[in-house]
Structure 1
Amino acid sequence: MLKSSVVALGLCAALLATPQSSAAEERSFNGTWSVQLVTESGLCDSRYTVALAITGGDVRVASAGEGGATVSGRIGPDGNVGLTVRHGSTSGAASGRLQANSGSGTWNVSALCSGRWTAQRRSTRVAQAD
């Protein structure tokens, strides 16, 4: 359970970026994204996938079944990604960049694990949380 919670943190973190952005530019990233984390070092599972929803540059977990993690941060108008993810007392961070329908970057959860992430847009519609 700890491993999957830590990986969920890292995965969600994969998507705090430039907070100054225009609503029109942020909308270009709106939708539901499938994000895959690959662990390159540490105690986490080797791969983990989560659905994230982006609305107006704000990011949230798209499914309530993602282990209770919360995501904070934004997608900048140029696609820069910077997020903080919390699950209980554990937190993680991610950075990278989104393009029109894909993205990539790096993530880490304290000293527990780290790796890289990739994202694919699944829909321009935002999924509702369960």
Structure 2
Amino acid sequence: MDFSTNIETFLSDNISDTVFIQKAYYYLLGREPDPHGMQHYLSLLHDGADRMSILSSLRFSAEGKRRYKRIKQFDQAIIRYKRRSRIRRLIIRLIGRKKKSPSTNIQPLLSAREQVIYLQLQQALHSNRE
């Protein structure tokens, strides 16, 4: 599997967690996973972590920073993942607010695209409350 051109396949559930971790180590660190690393990342996946967070963890580990060869598509996927994570946190904040609690103005913290999504979510939540 060519990681640089098939990141969607790489992140899909079409390969087992064990094979995913082996390939992630190979592509990002240039080696096989040690037993402790394999067990650690398998545990994270079984506890609900997503595959992109595992890749990000390996990529930005001390070893990953030393060995990493820039793969444009991977870097773009990391950026998209971080944006989605940020949006997820905002959604949780919106949904978690109580009806009578004062509104928290988080719009200044958002990019233009995130503001559009935020406003759409806010409108949808408001219409559901009525």
TM-score (normalised: structure 1): 0.23
Q: Higher helix share goes to which structure?
A: 2
Q: Higher strand share goes to which structure?
A: 1
TM-score (normalised: structure 2): 0.23
Higher RCO (Cα < 8 Å, 6 or more apart): 1
